[in-house]
Structure 1
Amino acid sequence: METIGSEHTKDMTAEEMQALQQEVAGMTPEELKEFRNSKDADSMGFWGKE
């Protein structure tokens, strides 16, 4: 499976990416909603194979 990243995550090390994934996994539904809403999807830019 090909990884699809964003401009925000493309330069992260594997350790940084894992830490972010663990942080997100530990969020409550409300915290996750706030986290997602804090990101501007239009300016993130995505790369990788669809």
Structure 2
Amino acid sequence: MFDNYDDSLLYCRDLGIISETKPIRIANEIYREIIPRVLNRNLQDSIEEEC
């Protein structure tokens, strides 16, 4: 049975992006900074800057 979520987690674990153990956490310090930025980019782009 194909489970997209579980397969994606296994893929990320194989690449060393997330931890091998629970709880799931971002394993690499560089990724800890970049991944949240990428995931919420649309939200950041929608915020208007006030001068």
Bin for the TM-score computed over the shorter chain: 0.3 to 0.5
Compute the TM-score of the two structures, normalised by the length of structure 1: 0.33
Q: Which has the larger radius of gyration?
A: 2
TM-score calculated relative to the size of structure 2: 0.33
| Higher strand proportion | 1
User: Which structure is higher in helix share?
Assistant: 2
